[in-house]
Chains A and B, each alone.
Chain A
Amino acid sequence: MQRLTNTAELKVLRDNLLQAQDPHRPIVRVCRGPGCLAVGADKVSQAFQSAIQSQNLEVKVQPLVKDTGCHGFCSQGPLVNLAPANLCYVRVKPEDVEEIVQTTLVKGAVVERLLYSDNGTRYKSAADIPFYRMQQKIILQNIGVIDPLDIHDAIMAGAYHSLAKALIEMSPDDVIRTVEISGLRGRGGGGFPTGYKWKRTVENARENPGPVYIIANGEEGDPGAFMDRAIMEGDPHAVIEGMAIGAYAMGVNQGFLYVRHEYPIAIRHLAAAIAQARALGLLGKNILGAGFDFDLQINRGAGAYVCGEETAIIASLEGRVGEPVTRPPYPSQQGLWGRPTVINNVETWANVPHIIDHGAQWYADLGAPRSTGTKIFSLVGKVKNTGLVEVPMGISLGALVEEIGGGVPGQGRFKAVQTGGPSGGIIPYELKEEFTDYHFHPPDVKPADKMELSVDFDSMAQTGSIMGGGGMIVMDDHDCVVDLARYFLRFLEEESCGKCLPCRLGLKGMLEFLNNFSQGKGAPADIDALESLGKALVDGSLCGLGRTAPNPVLTSIRYFRDEYLAHIVDHHCPAGVCRDLITYRIDPEICNGCTLCAQTCPQVCITGANQQLHTIDQDACIRCGACMDVCPVDAVVVD
């Protein structure tokens, strides 16, 4: 690759690449997001490669097969998209590839059976599918489209164009002002204004001259959240470009990408993207001939949830145990090696090129007034259309879950959503209380009503939850809030670094209450005691982990106190989840006496002869559910 020595050369390169491209060339895009890979997308991709290479297709232009990042519609994977028609084939198996090649690529016809269908409608174009139609893709627009391992593909899609614009048309202060006016807030969960953070850092560096560092936080530890992963895997150049623009604005020469170690593909794609960007002179010395030096290095996380906290990341980068420290001093004052440091989430960095490209006002007009722009969510749990969605901030929770998500599958009833991971809360479907007493609500936000709850930083905070990184887990009436609150507490109790007492001991104490509740033990007064302990953690903990840890418990008590009381007073789990409060039973009407359950039961406590009704010995049953898994006729029921 020829090194680019000025911004004009970047434009020439892009124009040449675009010109050399045949707009009619069919492109097969195979999704290699985590969801699709798990159901065999790599075999589908190989099948396409070999089907196209091995035979002489009777077509004028040979199709191009691209492995891309996540297409988003995970519940329908493996996904294949065919350009230029934007055909979307779902649940594609390697056996289907031959038919797609012969029917669609050679004859130009559609394989009807592979189209997505819902309520009797078959959707040809991806753009018509309700799941995609309601989204507004800005950060995701290149993900699933470009080949993340080919910088030329990214450049054709516009990568580094904003960096060039910043370098020639804008002063560093202009860049900071633009980001500030755009209203961009941190996408990692905190929602801190990005432009202000940058401004403070530059001011601190001026008072105390020396190096400044920037870090991308890719330690995406919330369970059920994979937004940052999709960005790093599917469009690594967006993060690199965003960081390069930030580096230019703040006079930074060295940046760090801190990536969760469970994301090997993200690390590989980022490493390849950095190497290619360096070869083109988009990273390294004298970038695009503008006299600006900036380089990036990747640091792998080592498996600690607390390392999503900014001071813990700094400790980890310095080679120490990832324990947070008290703020202030903030990282913008004393961060990595004691120098002013900016830590932004991966998604935040990926927003920056778009703001520079289209201007602050364009961005400020997107989304809601105090929460500008779009946000990526991973919509998972008891929802029909599971996957990754990008929507403008301020969309109603109802539209997100019912229209994009397609509602709850089967007979279930939409009960609640859990947002923000272990630091977030459980928000009920029937949310109608007025918010008057919570921590940080701005006065001009109106109370939310039911599904009209607006998904933005401030409204979410008012419910007692947080926006968080973007995990959105839908619960139906077979999910128990006590059990879910207990799950998150156990998660956090394991992940607490143990440095400060409120978090170390408080979480243990809270967990003890919940363990009791889930066994039907305790008194109603214990709920108040638990609430008060939770509030003590909010006030007393050292870092964000402890301060937000009680949120799932506090919100579930606030909205679902009845369900807690059912456990404690009636010794009954309404959702049928808490193991000590349920029994497994075999329905005599349905059981066909196949003996499978009796053979599988680890306790050997199911009796019954062949072709005869089987029964479970309740005294010996450990409620492992193995009988339920194997029963071919669904005769095992939970009471």
Chain B
Amino acid sequence: MKPARQDIEIILEQYPRHPQHLINLLQDVQAEYSYISAEHLTLICDHVGVPVTQAWSVATFYKSFSLEPRGEHEIKVCLGTTCHLKGGQRLVEACERNLGVARGQTTDDLKFTLDTVKCVGACALAPVVMVDEDYLGEANMVILKKRLEQV
């Protein structure tokens, strides 16, 4: 489903036409569409007046931007220091095996995107996995599988 052109125009009009707003615009588009399409990237560039190459370098430098559509649900395995000490790495690998995708990738049915994060600040519960906005504390694959069956 292609988003209507109207929406992007509304996002663009919230910001003055100045290069300093490039990152803000990319963030808003990312939040609205879950990714930044080539078409939207061009529209943003025209609005703030920067070359596409610069916007591209910004969009690929920062980790919060995705140039490909993301899955319906996001699974974020925390790899903060405490989670690492308590087995976060094994947990990501278990997720990769179970979902059949590498970290950073999305399942073919666009249902799940698997990602790792650098600390979600819930170290008392390590290792932690976030499924969308929910935290799963002291997680292992058994707990996570049960949770994924519910979504």
Binding site for B on A (CB under 8 A): 34-35, 37-39, 74-75, 77, 221-226, 229, 261-262, 299-300, 302-305, 316-322, 378, 380-382, 386-387, 418, 421, 471, 473, 475, 479, 484, 487-488, 491, 497, 600, 602, 624-626, 629-630
- Are A387 and B124 CB-contacts (below 8 A) given A299-B24, A319-B48, A380-B82? yes
Q: Is B32 interfacial (CB 8 A cutoff)?
A: no
- Are A39 and B123 CB-contacts (below 8 A) given A304-B61, A317-B20? no
- List 27 contacting pairs A-B, 8 Å CB cutoff, sorted by A: A34-B120, A35-B121, A35-B122, A37-B122, A38-B122, A39-B137, A74-B123, A222-B119, A223-B81, A262-B120, A300-B27, A302-B23, A302-B63, A303-B63, A303-B65, A317-B20, A319-B22, A321-B61, A380-B124, A381-B82, A387-B124, A484-B85, A488-B81, A602-B94, A624-B93, A624-B94, A625-B87
Number of A-B contacts (CB under 8 A): 132
Q: Give the distance to chain B from A138, nearest Cβ to Cβ, in Å.
A: 22
Check B118–A491 contact: CB distance below 8 A: yes
Q: Which residues of A contact B120 (CB under 8 A)?
A: 34, 38, 262
Q: Which of B44-103 contact A (CB under 8 A)?
A: 48, 50, 54, 57-58, 61-65, 79-82, 84-85, 87, 90, 93-94, 97
- Are A386 and B50 CB-contacts (below 8 A) given A39-B137, A626-B141? no
A382's closest neighbor in chain B, by CB? Answer: B85
Check B122–A473 contact: CB distance below 8 A: no
Q: Which residues of B contact A77 (CB under 8 A)?
A: 124
Check B135–A37 contact: CB distance below 8 A: yes
Q: Which residues of A contact B85 (CB under 8 A)?
A: 381-382, 473, 475, 479, 484
Q: Which residues of A contact B29 (CB under 8 A)?
A: none
Check A261–B135 contact: CB distance below 8 A: no
Q: Is B114 interfacial (CB 8 A cutoff)?
A: no
B55's closest neighbor in chain A, by CB? Answer: A319
Q: Give the distance to chain A from B127, nearest Cβ to Cβ, in Å.
A: 11
Check A300–B118 contact: CB distance below 8 A: no
* Listed residue (B26, B81, B82, B137) with the most chain A CB atoms within 10 angstroms of its CB: B81
Binding site for A on B (CB under 8 A): 19-24, 26-27, 48, 50, 54, 57-58, 61-65, 79-82, 84-85, 87, 90, 93-94, 97, 117-126, 128, 135, 137, 140-142
Check A221–B124 contact: CB distance below 8 A: no
B128's closest neighbor in chain A, by CB? Answer: A38
Q: Which residues of A contact B137 (CB under 8 A)?
A: 38-39
A630 to B62, CA, bound (A): 38
Q: Which residues of B contact A262 (CB under 8 A)?
A: 117, 120
Q: Which residues of B contact A473 (CB under 8 A)?
A: 81-82, 85
Choose among B123, B140, B141 the residue that contacts A224 (Cβ–Cβ < 8 A).
B123
Q: Give the distance to chain A from B79, nearest Cβ to Cβ, in Å.
A: 7
Q: Give the distance to chain B from A623, nearest Cβ to Cβ, in Å.
A: 9
Check B81–A487 contact: CB distance below 8 A: yes
Choose among B24, B26, B90, B123 the residue that contacts A386 (Cβ–Cβ < 8 A).
B123
Choose among A34, A302, A475 the residue that contacts B64 (Cβ–Cβ < 8 A).
A302
B58's closest neighbor in chain A, by CB? Answer: A321
Q: Give the distance to chain B from A74, nearest Cβ to Cβ, in Å.
A: 4
Q: Give the distance to chain A from B118, nearest Cβ to Cβ, in Å.
A: 5
Check B58–A226 contact: CB distance below 8 A: no
- Are A35 and B123 CB-contacts (below 8 A) given A223-B79, A223-B118, A319-B20? yes
- Are A630 and B142 CB-contacts (below 8 A) given A221-B118, A624-B90? yes
Check B118–A418 contact: CB distance below 8 A: no
Q: Which residues of B contact A624 (CB under 8 A)?
A: 90, 93-94, 97
Check B20–A304 contact: CB distance below 8 A: no
Q: Give the distance to chain A from B28, nearest Cβ to Cβ, in Å.
A: 10
Choose among A38, A222, A302, A488 the residue that contacts B27 (Cβ–Cβ < 8 A).
A302
* Listed residue (B57, B90, B93, B118) with the most chain A CB atoms within 10 angstroms of its CB: B118
Q: Give the distance to chain B from A547, nearest Cβ to Cβ, in Å.
A: 20
Q: Which residues of B contact A381 (CB under 8 A)?
A: 81-82, 85, 123
Choose among B63, B90, B118 the residue that contacts A625 (Cβ–Cβ < 8 A).
B90
A229 to B140, CA, bound (A): 27
A251 to B63, CA, bound (A): 35
A624 to B135, CA, bound (A): 23
A74 to B122, CA, bound (A): 8
Check B90–A303 contact: CB distance below 8 A: no
* Listed residue (B63, B85, B97) with the most chain A CB atoms within 10 angstroms of its CB: B85
Q: Which residues of B contact A319 (CB under 8 A)?
A: 19-23, 48, 50, 58
A469 to B63, CA, bound (A): 22
A39 to B124, CA, bound (A): 10
- Are A304 and B123 CB-contacts (below 8 A) given A473-B82, A491-B118? no
A378 to B121, CA, bound (A): 9
Check B63–A35 contact: CB distance below 8 A: no
A336's closest neighbor in chain B, by CB? Answer: B20
Check B122–A629 contact: CB distance below 8 A: no
Check B124–A302 contact: CB distance below 8 A: no
- Are A386 and B20 CB-contacts (below 8 A) given A223-B119, A261-B64? no
A91 to B39, CA, bound (A): 50
Q: Give the distance to chain B from A476, nearest Cβ to Cβ, in Å.
A: 9
- Are A39 and B125 CB-contacts (below 8 A) given A319-B20, A320-B58, A475-B85? yes
A229 to B120, CA, bound (A): 11
Check A224–B81 contact: CB distance below 8 A: yes
Q: Give the distance to chain B from A600, nearest Cβ to Cβ, in Å.
A: 8
Q: Give the distance to chain A from B63, nearest Cβ to Cβ, in Å.
A: 3
Check B57–A321 contact: CB distance below 8 A: yes
A630 to B94, CA, bound (A): 13
Q: Give the distance to chain A from B94, nearest Cβ to Cβ, in Å.
A: 6
- Are A318 and B80 CB-contacts (below 8 A) given A34-B122, A39-B137, A380-B124? no
Q: Which residues of B contact A318 (CB under 8 A)?
A: 19-20
Q: Give the distance to chain A from B143, nearest Cβ to Cβ, in Å.
A: 9
Q: Which 10 A-B pairs have the closest CB atoms?
A: A303-B63, A302-B62, A38-B135, A223-B80, A303-B64, A380-B123, A223-B119, A74-B124, A226-B121, A319-B22
A421's closest neighbor in chain B, by CB? Answer: B81
B50's closest neighbor in chain A, by CB? Answer: A319
Q: Which residues of A contact B27 (CB under 8 A)?
A: 261, 300, 302
Q: Which residues of B contact A497 (CB under 8 A)?
A: 61
What 9 additional pairs, Cβ within 8 angstroms, besides A34-B122, A319-B58?
A34-B121, A261-B64, A303-B65, A319-B50, A380-B82, A479-B85, A488-B81, A491-B118, A625-B87
Check A629–B140 contact: CB distance below 8 A: yes
B59's closest neighbor in chain A, by CB? Answer: A302
A320 to B118, CA, bound (A): 23
A74's closest neighbor in chain B, by CB? Answer: B124
Check B26–A224 contact: CB distance below 8 A: no
- Are A626 and B94 CB-contacts (below 8 A) given A38-B128, A380-B82, A381-B82? yes
Q: Which residues of B contact A386 (CB under 8 A)?
A: 123-124
Q: Give the distance to chain A from B40, nearest Cβ to Cβ, in Å.
A: 16
Check B19–A629 contact: CB distance below 8 A: no
Q: Give the distance to chain A from B142, nearest Cβ to Cβ, in Å.
A: 6
Q: Which residues of A contact B117 (CB under 8 A)?
A: 262
